[in-house]
């Protein structure tokens, strides 16, 4: 009886039938998780890259104008929507910011002021002086004016199993006017 037990045990240890099924059961979920993760992360990077490209294009167009109106901002937001496929709820804020140093104050580090700001789409608040994020602006010289273009787009991943949930992607770019020292805001 013990001899039969050892014989069956030895045969079971050397039997390889069913090993493919066991390996498949172990590896298939891992491979699917990896494949799905690759797709989700690629989709997120692609959405962020598309937003950056759209924002840079709009900033370049704005920098080449000499004046801007509310209608222009709406048209730029429509352009942004066209450049960002499969998205709704895009926001666009364009602001003109001036840096000035007060010569009457020794060692004045300078201050940033919003000359004008306009929003379109999901963006609802114009930029005010207190909300200027100085860290996102380049070094500026006294009297310099730049255009600050901020874009946002909602991103919904195809699945939330990987820990990536709904989020709003944001991009901002500061650019100097190309042909004039400033871009004028014109009321319609």
| Nearest C-alpha neighbor of 39 from the set 169, 167, 159, 163 | 159
Task: For residue 45, give the 3-state DSSP assignment.
Answer: helix
Torsion of CA 54, 57, 63, 65, to 10 degrees: -100
The structural domain count of the chain equals 1
pLDDT > 90: percent of the chain: 45
Q: Supply the range of the domain harboring residue 172.
A: 2-185
> With the C-alpha atoms ordered 113, 176, 182, 60, is the resulting torsion angle positive or negative?
negative
Confidence of residue 59 (pLDDT cuts 50, 70, 90): very high
Confidence of residue 116 (pLDDT cuts 50, 70, 90): very high
Mean pLDDT score across all residues of the chain: 88
Burial class (CB in 10 A: 0-12, 13-18, 19+), 92: buried
pLDDT at 177: 93
pLDDT at 147: 95
Q: CB under 8 Å to 70, separation ≥6 — which residues? A: 118, 188
Model confidence pLDDT, tens digit, residues 127-166:
988 999 888 899 898 999 999 999 999 988 887 777 778 8
């Amino acid at each position: 009886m013990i001899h039969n037990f050892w014989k069956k045990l030895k045969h079971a240890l050397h039997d390889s039938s069913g090993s493919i099924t066991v390996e498949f059961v172990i590896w298939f979920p891992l491979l699917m998780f990896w494949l799905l993760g690759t797709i989700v992360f690629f989709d997120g990077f692609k959405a962020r890259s598309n937003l950056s490209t759209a924002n840079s294009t709009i900033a370049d167009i704005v920098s080449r104008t000499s004046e801007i109106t509310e209608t222009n901002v709406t048209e730029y937001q429509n352009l942004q929507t066209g450049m960002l496929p499969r998205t709704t709820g895009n926001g666009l804020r364009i602001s003109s910011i001036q840096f000035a140093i007060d010569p009457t104050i020794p060692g004045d580090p300078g201050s940033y002021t919003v000359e004008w700001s306009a929003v379109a789409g999901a963006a609802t608040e114009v930029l005010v002086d207190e909300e200027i994020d100085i860290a996102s602006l380049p070094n500026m010289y006294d009297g310099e004016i730049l255009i600050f273009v901020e874009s946002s787009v909602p991103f919904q991943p195809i699945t939330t199993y990987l820990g990536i949930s709904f989020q709003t992607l944001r991009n901002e770019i500061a650019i100097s006017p190309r042909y004039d020292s400033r871009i004028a805001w014109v009321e319609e």
